[in-house]
């Protein structure tokens, strides 16, 4: 099938490359960012994601994938269009639909002179009702066509994780297809025929809510284990032993019970907040969601509080911050705990030396004032302490020799590490 994808970011690009390879479809990626489009057409991957650069290069070479800035043309020349633009958070926590609205209008323009049946699929995470109340009316107005008659509409949420985005897209647990009508849903189910996984057909609104409920439950699991972890710290218990014991219960499962310095990223913080804000608009009190957010906010700077147990006055102290991305395997720093930790350290007068294998350029935009190093050894040298905020595998190679280069051999772990250094030199945020 010929597919266009409007919005070529962390979701749109892996989905595009994935559909071109696994589904054997012809994909046109659309973005307003000219530099991104040019890179893709040269076979270069504009984001850091495992295995994506190789597949993207191959798909471009094989003529299965190309990119453009022209939405109208891409829509006109395809039979299915995915809408995968960003849905960031506004200051008050609610969802910002500006990109969605604009992209819906652009898609409508592309459909105006098109005779053949076309299905528009919302892939961005949007609060229930958005597809029906915001996307469809805009497409109808710009195209002069009627949804459910002249064109089809689906809502197909994406569950991939950054860092393993391509693999997750290619091997999902399930595919959720919210449909305006049966014809639209069947077309998208057929498009996914190469994906041998359960496919759930729902209403548009149920599909929209499935995404928020999934992300909110996962985020709640993390805040829950962090709360238990804070108790473990008091009691000198290892929270990982507790998580293992709890997680072996198949009703609970061990995933997302890794306690640490709080969750970040472009999804959990914004999605939990957006759902809470949406519930408040409906005069409902999102108690669990609000607590999930609150526990996470407090968790993010726990490492700095614990550092102050060693240095009540941090002014003039040099602190190495290892790991800036919100998790390993990505260059994405959106809502990363490292942002708040660096702000707090600077506020308390510390000098910060930071290192990350992939995310330094992105963090420079947020924190241009600190020193960045080109490896962890340099960051550790002469530091009064180090904080590990992202568990990149390479930090497991930190050795006793590296610690000897520090002013004080002290590592506070915001993520559980597997390196072989002495117990007295390492402390966990929620474990001894
Ligand atoms: P992103 O910011 O990485 O990418 C969005 C892209 O859309 C950008 O490249 C931007 O230039 C482009 N864009 C904006 N307006 C446009 C327009 N009118 N026409 C064409 N392109 C336009 O965002 P993302 O992380 O890929 O997220 C996209 C959506 O998917 C969001 O709703 C997000 O919540 C959801 N989601 C994200 C993830 C994730 O891990 N990042 C996972 C699942 C779902």
- Output the CA 39–ligand 1 centroid distance in Å: 17
- Output the CA 307–ligand 1 centroid distance in Å: 37
Q: Does 214 sit in the ligand 1 pocket, CB within 6 Å? A: no
Residue of 162 and 308 predicted with greater confidence: 308
**Residue 193: other Cβ atoms inside 10 A:** 9
Do domains 2-202 and 301-428 share one topology? The answer is: yes
Atom 4 of ligand 1 has which residue's CA nearest to it?
Answer: 9
User: Mean per-residue pLDDT for 409-417?
Assistant: 97
Which has the closest alpha carbon to 168: 330, 30, 25, 292? 330
Distance CA 131, CA 358 (A): 35
Task: Give pLDDT tens digits for 27-45.
Answer: 999 999 999 999 999 999 9
Second CATH level (architecture) for the domain 2-202: 3-Layer(aba) Sandwich (3.40)
According to the model, what pLDDT value does residue 390 have? 97
Q: Does 406 sit in the ligand 1 pocket, CB within 6 Å? A: no
Q: Does 130 sit in the ligand 1 pocket, CB within 6 Å? A: no
Distance CA 420, CA 288 (A): 38
Which has the closest alpha carbon to 277: 289, 268, 267? 289
Second CATH level (architecture) for the domain 212-299: Orthogonal Bundle (1.10)
User: Mean per-residue pLDDT for 261-288?
Assistant: 96
Distance CA 349, CA 319 (A): 10
Residue ranges of domains in the chain: 2-202, 212-299, 301-428
Report yes or no: 191 and 80 within 8 Å, Cβ to Cβ. Answer: yes
User: Mean per-residue pLDDT for 295-305?
Assistant: 97
CATH: 1.10.287.3510, 3.40.190.170, 3.40.50.720, 3.60.21.10. Which one for 301-428?
3.40.50.720
Task: Give pLDDT tens digits for 338-353.
Answer: 999 999 999 999 999 9
According to the model, what pLDDT value does residue 17 have? 98
Task: Give pLDDT tens digits for 134-178.
Answer: 999 999 999 999 999 999 999 999 999 998 999 999 999 999 999
Rounded to a whole number of angstroms, the CA Rg of the chain reads: 23
According to the model, what pLDDT value does residue 38 have? 98
- The angle subtended at Cα 156 by Cα 150 and Cα 159, nearest 5°, is 165
Report yes or no: 16 and 37 within 8 Å, Cβ to Cβ. Answer: no
**Total residue length of the chain:** 432
Six-digit token string for 213? 């409920």
Six-digit token string for 172? 């999902």
According to the model, what pLDDT value does residue 282 have? 97
The H or E element spanning position 67 is strand 65-68
Distance CA 392, CA 325 (A): 9
Six-digit token string for 220? 């709640």
Report yes or no: 178 and 231 within 8 Å, Cβ to Cβ. Answer: no
Which has the closest alpha carbon to 294: 211, 231, 226? 226
Atom 1 of ligand 1 has which residue's CA nearest to it?
Answer: 9
Q: Is the pLDDT of residue 202 over 90?
A: yes
Report yes or no: 323 and 358 within 8 Å, Cβ to Cβ. Answer: no
Report yes or no: 158 and 15 within 8 Å, Cβ to Cβ. Answer: yes
Q: Is the pLDDT of residue 23 over 90?
A: no
Task: Give pLDDT tens digits for 215-230.
Answer: 999 999 999 999 999 9
Atom 28 of ligand 1 has which residue's CA nearest to it?
Answer: 86
- Output the CA 100–ligand 1 centroid distance in Å: 9
Mutate to test the pocket of ligand 1, among 266, 275, 326 (most ligand atoms within 8 A of CB): 266
Q: What is the pTM of this model?
A: 0.95
Distance CA 72, CA 118 (A): 13
Mutate to test the pocket of ligand 1, among 38, 86, 104, 265 (most ligand atoms within 8 A of CB): 86
- 232 as an active site residue: the answer is no
């Amino acid at each position: 099938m010929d597919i266009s994808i409007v919005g070529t970011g962390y979701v749109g690009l892996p989905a595009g490359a994935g559909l071109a390879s696994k589904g054997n479809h012809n994909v046109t990626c659309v973005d307003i960012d000219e530099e991104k489009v040019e890179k893709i057409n040269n076979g270069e991957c504009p984001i850091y994601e495992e295995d994506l650069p190789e597949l993207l290069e191959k798909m471009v070479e094989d003529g299965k994938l190309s990119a453009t800035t022209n939405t109208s043309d891409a829509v006109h020349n395809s039979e299915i269009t995915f809408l995968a633009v960003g849905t960031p958070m506004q200051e008050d926590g609610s969802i910002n639909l500006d990109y969605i609205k604009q992209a819906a209008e652009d898609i409508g323009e592309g459909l105006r002179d098109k005779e053949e049946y076309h299905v528009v699929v919302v892939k961005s995470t949007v609060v229930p009702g958005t597809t029906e109340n915001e996307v469809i009316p805009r497409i109808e107005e710009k195209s002069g066509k009627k949804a459910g008659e002249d064109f089809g509409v689906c809502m197909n949420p994406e569950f991939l994780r950054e860092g393993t985005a391509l693999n997750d897209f290619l091997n999902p647990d399930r595919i959720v297809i919210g449909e305006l009508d049966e014809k639209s849903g069947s077309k998208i189910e057929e498009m996914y025929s190469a994906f041998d996984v359960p496919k759930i057909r729902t209403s548009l609104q149920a599909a929209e809510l499935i995404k928020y409920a999934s992300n909110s439950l996962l985020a709640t699991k993390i805040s829950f284990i962090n709360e238990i972890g804070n108790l473990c710290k008091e009691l000198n218990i290892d929270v990982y032993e507790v998580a293992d014991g709890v997680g072996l219960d198949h009703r609970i499962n061990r995933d997302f019970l890794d306690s640490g310095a709080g969750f970040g990223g472009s999804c959990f913080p914004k999605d939990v907040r957006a759902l809470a804000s949406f519930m408040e608009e409906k005069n409902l009190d999102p108690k669990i969601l609000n607590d999930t957010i609150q526990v996470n906010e407090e968790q993010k700077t726990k490492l700095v509080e614990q550092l102050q147990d060693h240095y009540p006055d941090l002014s003039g102290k040099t602190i190495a911050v290892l790991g800036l991305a919100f998790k390993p395997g990505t260059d994405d720093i959106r809502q990363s705990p490292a942002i708040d930790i660096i702000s707090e350290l600077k506020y308390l007068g510390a000098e910060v030396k930071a290192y990350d294998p992939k995310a330094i350029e992105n963090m420079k935009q947020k924190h241009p004032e600190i020193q960045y190093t080109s490896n962890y050894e340099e960051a550790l040298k002469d530091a009064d302490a180090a904080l590990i905020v992202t568990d990149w595998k390479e930090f497991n190679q930190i050795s006793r020799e590296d610690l000897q280069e520090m002013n004080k051999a002290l590592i506070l772990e915001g993520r559980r590490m597997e390196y072989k250094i002495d117990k007295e030199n390492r402390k966990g945020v929620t474990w001894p």
